[in-house]
Amino acid sequence: MTTSGIIEIILFTLLVVAMADPIGAGLTHVLEGKRTTLVERAFYRLAGVRPENEQDWVRYGASMLLFSLVGALSMYALERLQGLLPLNPQGFPAVPPTLALNTAVSFLTNTNWQAYSGESTMSYLTQMLALAVHNFLSAATGIALAVALIRGFSRQSSRTIGNFWVDMTRCTLYLLLPASFLIALFLIWQGVPQTLGAYVDATTLEGAKQTIAVGPVASQEAIKMLGTNGGGFFNANSAHPFENPTPLSNFVEMLCIFSLGAGLTGAFGRMVGDRRQGWAILGVMTVLFLAGLAVVYPVESASNPSFTGLNVDQSAGNMEGKEVRFGMADSALFTTATTDASCGAVNTMHDSLMPLSGMVPLINMMLGEIIFGGVGSGLYGMLLFAIIAVFVAGLMVGRTPEYIGKKIEAREVKMAMLAILILPFSMLGFTAIAAVSKAGLAGIANQGPHGFSEILYAYVSSTANNGSAFAGLSANTDFYNLTTAAAMFMGRFFFIVPMLAVAGSLAAKKAVPPSPGTFPTNGALFAALLTGVILIVGGLTFFPALAVGPIVEHLSMQAGTHF
């Protein structure tokens, strides 16, 4: 660890916390504001949307599901037809069916799991018109859903929770698009290409041929980070010098990962009329983020005991799968942030992390991507945990729990638990199937416990809609394409439906005025309780799986065993 590394981490954390309130103010303005533009009104007129007509939770959910279905079909069609379409200078053929399906579900669900490598599979048109579009739309959908849940708390005796079409459209037009435009220009300044020209042929200094893949990278990179999508233009993602050329581009990309997740806690506080409620949530997120980083940074900075006895100077840390310009601090920060949020972009190859620091991304994702989390999904996931936390507190004192002035009753708790239980069901269920099936085991690259970790990581990442990978796993097979697609779908939509049911049922309730017996949820005591509930409910389920993977690998490494 270095002094500059620690200063960078402190600076990063302070900036994230400082961004939460101003971005929250902007989000509130966009989503609750009434001012419109010509473009917005024209969109509604063409689409037949009446913005003043609000929807109940069932209709809101149905709109979101239909929109997603049409989006998935359009992506699938573009991938399958790319050979016939323009902007394909390398002449890539149609994406094979199961891979196209997997990729469509992946970008639809804001996962951006990549069983393909971009620069050798996808045409420029597919990257722009299929993948980048859904980077925007899946992020806007996530924010819309989070705001719907916030309205459940902020409204009283209301049948409706907003209009999905309006929330999604405003979020894209006024927030994601202008912000991405500025970030894209910044990235070009740092060296990220934006061109529609064909790959470049070069003759190297030693006279060899080198073909260099380029493309419309900057526009996609910006929304990839801001929307916590994480699907790289290139196979190596944000480790590729064209996606992330400098330590400064890296710093800004990391800030993008957390910006909207942090901002939504600010929007939450504002919309429910008590900003301290937002700060309490932000506090829990920050503590859990720093806890993960406190493992990854020192463990990666230490040497790999397997190399002792070889004449290697390991003072720079575990450099396998890392880039020199980033080193340990940038790599540890990025790894922790990208798995806290459901981003899944990587600037370091997670498969080559030391066993214990590879366990941190796994845990971050197992907790349900609520540490800042995916845009929108982080906040709504965290609020479901908050409901469980006040329920647990209510059980201790034998009193009906309340959260943000709403009585939390059997229906809300059941729905919250239903959503949360989808995660272990899919993560562990699919891992178990893959670990005993021939097709599952065929994908393993590393032997021993690390091979099991590769399988576990795949289903944890896809269910949590993260999208990063222990990328040694050969994931582009029918078995993995279909099973990870199913995991991504369940992790997104089986979580959202019960969550929207909670939103609808809360919105219909009257607010109860706080009484002396009300447990305050805007202070440190609640934050500590919430952290505990997250770690116990979210984490303990997975301990046996972690013991078989990274923990056994760590102990083997200490004992000098190789596989």
Partner 1 sequence: MLRELRPAFILIVLMSVLTGLIYPLAVLGVGRVIFPGRASGSLVQQDGKIIGSSLIGQAFTSDRYFHGRVSAITSTDAQNNATPDPYDATSSSGSNLGPTSQALLDRVAADVARMKVDNNAAVPVDLVTSSASGLDPDISPEAAAFQVGRVAKARGLDPAQVTGLVNRSVRGRVLGILGEPRVNVLALNRELDTIR
**Footprint on residues 37-76 left by partner 1 (CB under 8 A):** 43, 46-49, 59, 62-63, 66-67, 69-71, 74
Question: Cβ contacts of residue 410 below 8 Å, gap of 6+?
Answer: none
Which residue from 306, 396, 510, 512 is in contact with partner 1, where contact means CB under 8 A? 306
Is the Cβ of residue 142 or residue 266 nearer to partner 1 in the bound state?
142
User: What gap in Å lies between CA 108 and CA 70, rounded to an integer?
Assistant: 10
Is the Cβ of residue 117 or residue 505 nearer to partner 1 in the bound state?
117
Asked if 441 interacts with partner 1 (CB under 8 A), we say no
Output the CA angle 47-35-222, nearest 5 degrees.
75
Is the Cβ of residue 24 or residue 327 nearer to partner 1 in the bound state?
327
Q: What is the 3-state secondary structure (H, E, C) of 338-395?
A: HHHCCCCCCCCCHHHCCHHHHHHHHHHHHCCCCCCCCCCHHHHHHHHHHHHHHHHHHH
What DSSP state is assigned to residue 127?
A: I
Near partner 1 in 140-159, by CB under 8 A: none
Spell out, one character per residue from 250 to 289, where the chain touches partner 1: x when CB under 8 A holds, - when not: xx--------------------------------------
Q: Kindly state the smallest distance separating residue 359's Cβ from partner 1, in Å.
A: 12
Is the Cβ of residue 480 or residue 519 nearer to partner 1 in the bound state?
480
Q: Kindly state the smallest distance separating residue 547's Cβ from partner 1, in Å.
A: 16
Cα torsion through 328, 7, 261, 35, rounded to 10: -130
Which residue from 16, 280, 471, 496 is in contact with partner 1, where contact means CB under 8 A? 471
User: What gap in Å lies between CA 390 and CA 273, rounded to an integer?
Assistant: 19
- What phi and psi values does residue 372 have, to the nearest 5 degrees? 70, -55
Q: Kindly state the smallest distance separating residue 412's Cβ from partner 1, in Å.
A: 26
Asked if 14 interacts with partner 1 (CB under 8 A), we say no
- What phi and psi values does residue 230 have, to the nearest 5 degrees? 90, 5
Q: Kindly state the smallest distance separating residue 96's Cβ from partner 1, in Å.
A: 15
Q: Identify the CA nearest to 281 among candidates 4, 455, 531.
A: 531
Q: Kindly state the smallest distance separating residue 401's Cβ from partner 1, in Å.
A: 35
Q: Kindly state the smallest distance separating residue 205's Cβ from partner 1, in Å.
A: 6
CA atoms within 13 A on the CB side of 12: 28
Is-contact 145 499, C-beta < 8 A?
yes
Near partner 1 in 201-260, by CB under 8 A: 201-206, 208, 210-214, 216, 218-220, 222-223, 234-236, 239-242, 245-248, 250-251
Asked if 524 interacts with partner 1 (CB under 8 A), we say no
Is the Cβ of residue 310 or residue 397 nearer to partner 1 in the bound state?
310
User: What gap in Å lies between CA 407 and CA 506, rounded to an integer?
Assistant: 8
Cβ-based neighbour number of residue 158 at 10 Å: 17
Asked if 317 interacts with partner 1 (CB under 8 A), we say yes
User: What gap in Å lies between CA 314 and CA 319, rounded to an integer?
Assistant: 8
Is the Cβ of residue 192 or residue 404 nearer to partner 1 in the bound state?
192
Could you tell me if residue 163 is left (phi over 0), alpha (psi between -120 and 50 degrees) or otherwise beta? beta
Which residue from 37, 120, 156, 400 is in contact with partner 1, where contact means CB under 8 A? 120
Q: Kindly state the smallest distance separating residue 18's Cβ from partner 1, in Å.
A: 17
Is-contact 234 117, C-beta < 8 A?
yes
Would you call 308 helix, strand, or coil by DSSP?
strand
Would you call 212 helix, strand, or coil by DSSP?
strand
Q: Using the rule CB under 8 A, give the single segment among 107-115, 173-181, 397-405, 435-443 that binds partner 1.
A: 173-181
Q: Kindly state the smallest distance separating residue 396's Cβ from partner 1, in Å.
A: 43
Question: Cβ contacts of residue 156 below 8 Å, gap of 6+?
Answer: 507, 509, 510, 511
By CB neighbour count within 10 A (0-12 exposed, 13-18 middle, 19+ buried), where does 377 fall? buried
Which residue from 290, 312, 442, 525 is in contact with partner 1, where contact means CB under 8 A? 312
Number of residues that bind partner 1 (CB under 8 A): 129
Near partner 1 in 79-118, by CB under 8 A: 117
Q: Which helix (H) or strand (E) holds 448?
A: none
Near partner 1 in 320-379, by CB under 8 A: 320-327, 330, 346-349, 351-355, 358
Which residue from 1, 319, 421, 435 is in contact with partner 1, where contact means CB under 8 A? 319
Is the Cβ of residue 33 or residue 320 nearer to partner 1 in the bound state?
320
Is the Cβ of residue 322 or residue 406 nearer to partner 1 in the bound state?
322
Asked if 476 interacts with partner 1 (CB under 8 A), we say no
Near partner 1 in 478-497, by CB under 8 A: none
Asked if 505 interacts with partner 1 (CB under 8 A), we say no
Which residue from 28, 110, 172, 339 is in contact with partner 1, where contact means CB under 8 A? 172
What string of DSSP letters covers 79-148?
A: HHHGGGSSS-TT---PPPHHHHHHHHHHHHTT----SS-HHHH--HHIIIIIIIHHHHHHHHHHHHHHHH
Query: What pairing do the DSSP bridges indicate for beta strands 200-203 and 209-212?
Result: antiparallel
The alpha-carbon radius of gyration of the chain (Å, integer) is 23
Q: Using the rule CB under 8 A, give the single segment among 186-194, 362-370, 500-508, 511-519 that binds partner 1.
A: 186-194
